[in-house]
Amino acid sequence: MRVLVVEDDEGLGNEVAAGLRSAGFAVDLSNHLADADLKVTVNTYDCLVVDRGLPDGDGLHLVAAQRAAGRRVPVLILTARDALADRIAGFDNGADDYLSKPFALAELAARVRALCRRREQPAHARIVLGDIDIDLPRRRVQRAGILRSLTPKEFAVLELLATRAGNVVSRSELIECCWDEMAEPASNVVDVVVGQLRRKLGAPQVIDTVRGAGFMIGSAPFAQ
């Protein structure tokens, strides 16, 4: 899941980005509205985390513009403006959630994850494919009842492949959804993570390589 954080305080922005990355998100950063507007035009995001007091305007202008353009990307307003009128203005302009500063990074990550899941997979808290059980809220994976320890990036890749079971997911789509703008599209980062996933999930192999196209988890059940 890829998130755009719009925050003009460099230190706080880096702290939020690091916290979300450690929770398994790919994170891009913007420190003013103009840059954020460009990023949402050229990239696809699963959630926006937007401050209000930006150097070139109120972050709500970005939210309102997204809604006016018909874009339904979830938005969490992260701001020191915590008065009732400010919160109402946030929701009236199209925000989905509103979190006041100071805040706990763990709560921010949980709220962002909930917004992303509400958009992409509203009916599913778990994905079961054969003997693999993926608990999405708890970020836990079991195979044949045995817990498999995955890194946040490995879980993100597995989650995307599992939600698209039966369909090929290209390397570029995996990069777009699971990595941020610092990733090098020509590198082998996707192949490395998929290789790690295969080893951790064990036999029989469940992630197929579709030559020239990408990777796929089959839709048919599989088991030992």
Both tokens of 49, joined, read 């985390």
pLDDT of residue 51: 94
Task: Give the whole-number percent of the chain exceeding pLDDT 90.
Answer: 45
18 vs 130: CA distance, rounded Å: 34
Residue 119 — pLDDT band, cuts 50, 70, 90?
low
- Give the C-alpha distances (Å, rounded to integers) separating 199 from 35, 84, 203: 40, 51, 8
pLDDT of residue 122: 44
Common-topology check for domains 2-120 and 126-217: no
pLDDT at position 185 over 80: no
User: Cis ω on the peptide bond leading into residue 74 (within 30° of 0)?
Assistant: no
139 vs 75: CA distance, rounded Å: 22
> What is the CATH number assigned to the segment(s) 2-120?
3.40.50.2300
pLDDT at position 158 over 90: yes
State the DSSP string of the chain: -EEEEE-S-HHHHHHHHHHHHHTT-EEEEESSHHHHHHHHHHS--SEEEE-SEETTEETHHHHHHHHHTT----EEEEES--SHHHHHHHHHTT-SEEEESS--HHHHHHHHHHHHHHHH-TT-SEEEETTEEEETTTTEEEETTEEE---HHHHHHHHHHHHTTTS-B-HHHHHHHHS-TTS-TTSSHHHHHHHHHHHHH-SSP-EEEETTTEEEE-SS----
Pair 13, 38: CB distance under 8 Å: no
pLDDT of residue 109: 92
Residue 218 — pLDDT band, cuts 50, 70, 90?
confident
Residue type, 102: P
207 vs 53: CA distance, rounded Å: 45
> What is the CATH number assigned to the segment(s) 126-217?
1.10.10.10
Q: What is the pLDDT of residues 147-156, one digit of tens each?
A: 999 988 899 8
pLDDT of residue 220: 54
User: Which residues have C-beta within 8 Å of that of residue 98, sequence separation ≥ 6?
Assistant: 76, 77, 79, 87, 90, 91
Pair 163, 121: CB distance under 8 Å: yes
pLDDT at position 145 over 80: yes
The residue ranges of every structural domain in the chain are 2-120, 126-217
Beta pairing class for 2-6 and 214-217? unpaired
pLDDT, the chain, mean: 86
